[in-house]
Structure 1
Amino acid sequence: MKKLFLIALTLTLGALSLQAQTIPSQRWQMRLRGVAVMPTESATINTIGGNININSKFIPELDFTYFFTKNIAAELILGTTKHKVHTRGSDLTAIGGSSSSNVDLGSVWLLPPTLTAQYHFFPDGPIKPYVGAGINYTIFYNVDAGSTVKNVQYDNAFGFATQLGVDFKLSDKYFLNLDAKYILLQTDVNVDASNLAPNLSIPAKVDINPFLLGFGIGMRF
């Protein structure tokens, strides 16, 4: 019985020691990045046809990461961006325009909080690559329809996010970060153009699908 007790105690202490090795002493990370947001847009536009153009932007971004173990973490990404929007090659002959017109749709702000689950390779090394995947929920706000149409409405939407990045250790507390994300994001858009023709409504399905490339500095705590 005494021998069994000693074996059980040894196994328990060994398991606790192994667990302690996998739990980081600094569970939180915070990063401040500069991020290039580059939509890879396309659209199906009813009534007038054509395609969509959404401009690229460069924005600041803040994110927080929590480590469950040295390898497994979850990251919440926060940032907001304003984009200008217009159609390309739309047919406006029904209202006296050309058969290949660009229609100004003003601008819209996007707030896309994104949560990813990550796996970090070589957590104790000076160079720490990681991969991640998760969900995004994009909120469209402060819509400015511009000077052509009466109003533009965007539906908030969920998207799927993938992530690839690497941290470069500067000290036990600070590090540099390079990060790339691709978000599959589609929204339903309705353009109220009743100022151009009675009861003219233009629905569209728009794929925004932004590619985000960021570089910044982080801190562990």
Structure 2
Amino acid sequence: MIIMKTKIIPLALTAAALALPGQAMAQAGEVHFKVLGTLVAPDGKIKDVKVDRIGLPAGTQTKANDNFVPTVAIEYFLADSLSVETIAGVTEHDVDGRGALAGAGLVSNAKIVPATVTLKYHFGKPGGIRPYIGAGPSYFIFINEKPGATTRALGATSQKINDTVGAALQAGIDIPVNDKGLFVSADVKRYFLRPLASWRANGVEVLRTRHELDPWVISAGIGFRF
């Protein structure tokens, strides 16, 4: 009887552990799909003025506005604790003056596709709450940006921000909700990139500046594992 009890108790504990919500989450070969709400909060300040034919006032500075957008993420697990993730989304920003040009509209409706791939390491055991860290390259694609109201008034007829290679650092957490593969996720990324912005008047470049964009990208939402 004693021998039977010593066998039954470990078996009962094992069965109970397997019945907990979210067990076996994040195993090698799994794919995770996330739907997220994302705040994109860039800096955008001027790091260097390369060309200035319009006479920027001393003390001119710039700031890009924040934007909240939907994003999706797809993640593939190479091992139980190692995964590769990419995100998809489009964010739109204006760039306005600060300092001597406070309130001036410099760039209007710049759409950005932040193509990013990160390699992530997950702490903890599959089935539990799993914090992670990650890092990887990014390629920011700028689409359809236009001169702002102020730069148009100064004679600029077109505006372009060059597509830029950068890097991203990442930290976050995944929390299982049930044993059907549903989980909630929170994620923070910090990007580092230095794009060039150029304004032209009838084909002639009148202003070119390098900017410290460096956005914080903060996301939260739900995920599904397959």
* Shorter-chain TM-score above 0.5: yes
From 137, 140, 149, the equivalent of 2:139 is 137
Count the aligned residue pairs.
Answer: 189
Q: Which residue of 2 aligns with 1:67?
A: 77
Q: How high is the sequence identity, in percent, across the aligned residues?
A: 27
Offset at 1:86?
2.2
Q: Which residue of 1 aligns with 2:97?
A: 87
- Kindly report structure 1 stretches of 4+ aligned residues shifted beyond 3 Å: none
Once the two structures are superposed, the pairs formed by residues 111-150 of structure 1 within 5 Å of their partners are 111-147=113-149, 148=152, 149-150=156-157
Q: Which residue of 2 aligns with 1:6?
A: none
Pick 1 or 2: higher relative contact order, CA cutoff 8 A, min separation 6. 2
Q: Which residue of 2 aligns with 1:202?
A: 207
Q: Which residue of 2 aligns with 1:220?
A: 225
Q: Tell me, which stretches of 5 or more residues in structure 2 are unaligned? A: 1-23
Task: Check the 8 A contact 1:90/1:103 in 2, yes or no.
Answer: no
Deviations 1:107-139 (A, max 9, x none): 210001110000011132421100000011000
CA distance in 2 between counterparts of 1:120 and 1:45 reads: 42
Provide the aligned C-alpha RMSD in A: 2.3
* TM-score normalised by length of structure 2: 0.77
Q: Which residue of 2 aligns with 1:40?
A: 43
CA distance in 2 between counterparts of 1:183 and 1:129 reads: 20
Q: Which residue of 1 aligns with 2:33?
A: 30
Q: Which residue of 2 aligns with 1:179?
A: 187
In the superposition, relative to structure 1, how do residues 123 and 41 fare at CA in structure 2: closer, same or farther (>3 Å)? farther
Offset at 1:37?
0.4
Q: Which residue of 1 aligns with 2:169?
A: 162
CA distance in 2 between counterparts of 1:200 and 1:110 reads: 22
Is 1:58 the counterpart of 2:68? The answer is yes
